[in-house]
Every structure is written in C-alpha cells, then in structure tokens.
Amino acid sequence: MRRTTMARVATGAVLALALVGCGTSSGDDDGGGGGGNTGSEEQGGFTAPDIPMAESLGDNEGSLSVLAWPGYAEDGSTDKSVDWVTPFEKETGCQVEVKYFGTSDEAVSLMKSGQYDVVSASGDASLRLIAGGDVAPVNTDLIDNYADVWPFLKDRDWNSVGGQMYGVPHGYGANLLMYNTDVVDPAPTSWSAVFDDAGTYSGKVTAYDSPIYIADAALYLMNTQPDLGIKDPYALDADQLAAAVDLLKAQRDNVGEYWSDYLKETQAFKTGDSVVGTTWQVIANLAQSEGAKVEAFLPDEGSTGWSDTWMVSSKTEHPNCAYAWMNHIISPEANAAVAEWFGEAPANEKACDLTSKGFCESYHAGDEAYAEKIHYWTTPIEQCLDGRTDVTCTTYQDWTQAWTEIKG
C-alpha cells in the first residue's frame, strides 16, 4: 500500500508525452521542440491513435496476463480471505498471471512490451498509454457492470478522449485532514491547521513524506493567495513553486515527523506523537478502530487525491478474457473487496451493498460534490498543465529537489 501510493506519484511520469502525442524521441533533442506549444494540443486537442475497438465478444481464451498496482489483484497469497482472482479463474476459465509494478513509468514501459493484457493505470500513466497507442478504446457496452459505475467517474479527462472511454474506472480516494479530537480544540475547518496555524501544535504536526505533497501547499495557496495565480496545484511556475516551498519550510519547523506508510501514522496518532496532519480515509478508520481519538474530513477548499482506471492492451491476444476481467474487477463483489482491502472508494455503486457496514459512507463513495473537490494526482511537467504557454512549469525532478530542501 505504501509502495503503491508513494509510487503512484513517485514517478517522473511524463504526461507531456501523452499530451503531445509523440514518443520519447522528442526528449532526445533539445527537449523543447517536441512539446513547446502543448497549450493548444492539450486534453481534447490531441487525437488518439486509431486503434480498433472490440465490437463483440467470443469464447474466453483461457489465460490472462494482468499488470497491477500491488493490492489490486490479490489471489489469496497475502491473506487467504483476500482473493478476487481465484473466483474469476473459476468463473471464466481464464488463468491469471499477475505482475505488480512499482511506478507509473514502469507500468508504461511494461505495457509497451505488449506482454500484458490489462493494466491498472493511474492518472499520470493513462493518457500516456492512450497517446502511445498501447491501450485500446473500450467498448463499454460489452461490460455489463459498467452501467453501475458512478456517472461522475465516466468520460473524465484522465480516462477518455473525445467522449470515448479507454478503460473502466476502478476506485478513487482523497487526502484528508485528520486531527486528535482530545487535543485539537477548536476542531479545524481548513488546511490552515497544518499551514498558517501549525504553530499551535508545534512538534505534533505531520505531513505526507513525498514531493507530491507540495501540491497540497499549492492548493492551499491557490485559495489563500490568489495573487500568485495558481490555477492547478500540479502546474507551478518557478515563483509559485518558491511560494509553496516557503510555506512548507515554515511548516517544517512544526512538523514532528513525516509519514509515508499507514502503520507509522496510525501509531503516531495513537500515541499522541502526532495530533494533526494529512491522512487517508483508511488510516483514519484504522486509527479509530484501534481506539485513537481522531476525526478526518475533507476541508471545503478541496484536497488532493487519486483515481485509477483498468485499461486493455491494444496488442492483447486475449481480448475476451481481458473484457471478462474488466467486467469482473468492477463487479460489485470484486470492486467491494478491492476497495476494502486497498482503502479507497469503489467505482461501482452496487459495491456499496456488499462492503462492510458504513464503509461507503466513510469513504464518501458516490458523493459527487465530495469527488469534485479532489484534485487528482498528476505528475508535474514542464508544459504547464493549466494551459499557460508563456511560462515553463516546474517538473517532478524540481519538486523532488525542493522536497529535500524543505525537509532540510
């Protein structure tokens, strides 16, 4: 889990390539020629390669090769009761081989090999796969369970092009603000609790240990300092990044420790070593079940988060098994199981009937207004994602170095 979510953002993933729609070769010249004027070519502007879409389904081929984030395709080897691969094999006769990947980069390069039939892609990989011609459009009419997917997850800019879906939405989640209800009084209402007002609980503030956390600061600045002109927390020019860095450096003085896995954060909140900071819903639930006095919520100014999509390879030799898998993984049963194991909101409405009591409520599954407040993780690149063409934006490498400086 830790690996997963860290890695989800921890990649030099190049959305630019997807936006521009050309291969890595553009990176070999001066680096500007290929992607100089992305503004006009961005989302919706780029045409996806012409890949045929499955029109009908036939007999299952008997095998399927799955490329997944760790935790997305469990076959019972981690925990006997956590298994949604074996039922699929029994039901469809498709023998599944699972390979896990650690970063979006790795997923993209492995998909290029053409050895995998389906992949679970995050926002920073999906468009690259589409533009690279590595994944095929998905005929959602052939996937019975698609009808039950929350409408607000369909036809979004990270999983479709011009109204054509390229996969099936799988699950999503938000980064929340968690606080200790015994210690933090009054209850916080805004991210200012960890930024401008962090000094109140100096030494007991916690933050996510990853360069992508800079986006949380940028999001806060977007609301509190409109003069900076931040429109997208993942598109920061040098000045905007500097402002976010300053904010985080000030926060650093009050940070007790940064967290990166949920055992660490749960322990810290349980013992009181941390009392306020970012979290995931799954951590908040775990901490509460362990008896920690904590609450977690999504502040009104919005938050960062993630959203994943299952896609099918354009070179697949097992299209029927691949479609069967996509249908299976968003089936109420499997989707509910994945969501609970991984700790995110399921994409299928009916999954909520099968999850444990209160699960979907606690994850705000299906709450559209809630989902709209999430700014999904995307890899920052030189071409500003907010469409600005007059400046160069800072890249994930810049963010990584900045993160080192922030921690000092």
Partner 1 sequence: MTFSGPTRALLRLFTALVLLFVYAPLALVVLNSFNTSRTFEWPPPGLTTRWWSAALESDGARNAIVVSLEVALIATAIALVLGTMAALALQRFRFFGRDTVSLLIILPIALPGVVTGIALANAFLTMFGIQLGMLTLVVSHATFCIVTVFNNAIARLRRLGGNLEEASMDLGAGTFRTFWSVTLPMMRSALLAGGLLSFALSFDEIIVTTFTAGQGIQTLPIWIYQNLFRPNQAPVVNVVAAALIVLSVVPIWISQKLAGTDESVAAAR
Partner 2 sequence: MLWLGVLYLGSLAALFITSLWSVDAFGGNIERIWNLDNYRDLFTIEVYRTITVRTLLIAALVTVIDALLAFPIALYMAKVASPRLQRILVIAVLTPLWASYLVKAYAWRGMFASGGPLDSVGISPGYGLAATVLTLSYLWLPYMILPMYAGLERLPSSLIEASADLGAGTGTTMRRVVLPVLFPAAVAGSIFTFSLTLGDYIAVKIVGGANQMLGNVVYDSFLTGNNLPFAAAVATIPVAAMLVYLAAVRRTGALDSL
Q: Where along the sequence are the contacts to partner 2 (CB under 8 A)?
A: 6, 10-14, 16-17, 24, 26-28, 31-32, 35, 103, 105, 209-211, 252, 255-258, 260, 263-264, 267, 271-273, 379, 381-382, 392, 395-397, 399-401, 403-405, 407-408
102 versus 256: smaller Cβ distance to partner 1 = 102
Q: Which does 1 bind (CB under 5 to 8 A by kind): partner 2, partner 1, none?
A: partner 1
* Binding site partner of 10, from partner 2, partner 1, none, Cβ cut-off 5-8 A by kind: partner 2
Q: Is 363 in the site for partner 1 (CB under 8 A)?
A: no
Instruction: Give the CA distances from residue 349 to residues 46, 143, 306, 322, in Å, rounded to whole numbers and listed in that order.
Output: 32, 15, 18, 22
Shortest CB 286 distance to partner 1, Å: 5
Smallest separation (angstroms) from partner 1 to the CB of 367: 24
Which of partner 2, partner 1, none lies near 200, with the C-beta cut-off 5 to 8 A by kind? none
Task: For partner 2, give the closer residue by CB, 192 or 395.
Answer: 395
Q: Binding partner 1 by CB under 8 A: which of 12, 87, 93, 102? A: 102
Which one, 1 or 228, has the nearer CB to partner 1?
1
Distance in Å, CB of 237 to partner 2, minimum: 14
By CB under 8 A, what part of segment 228-267 binds partner 1?
Answer: 261-264, 266-267
Tokens 């071409």 appear where? 383
Residue 148 to residue 402: CA distance in whole angstroms: 42
Q: Environment class of residue 104 by beta-carbon count within 10 Å: exposed (0-12), middle (13-18) or buried (19+)?
A: buried
Residue 148 interface partner, choices partner 2, partner 1, none, CB cut-off 5-8 Å depending on type: none
Quick one: what does residue 266 bind among partner 2, partner 1, none, with the CB cut-off 5 to 8 Å set by partner type?
partner 1
Which partner, partner 2, partner 1, none, binds residue 76 by CB below 5 to 8 Å per kind?
A: partner 1
By beta-carbon proximity to partner 1, the closer residue of 226 and 291 is 291
Comparison of 164 and 267: residue with beta carbon closer to partner 1: 267
Binding track, positions 63-92, relative to partner 1; x by CB under 8 A:
-------x-----xxxxx------------
Residues binding partner 1 (CB under 8 A): 1-3, 70, 76-80, 99-102, 106, 261-264, 266-267, 270, 282, 286, 290-291
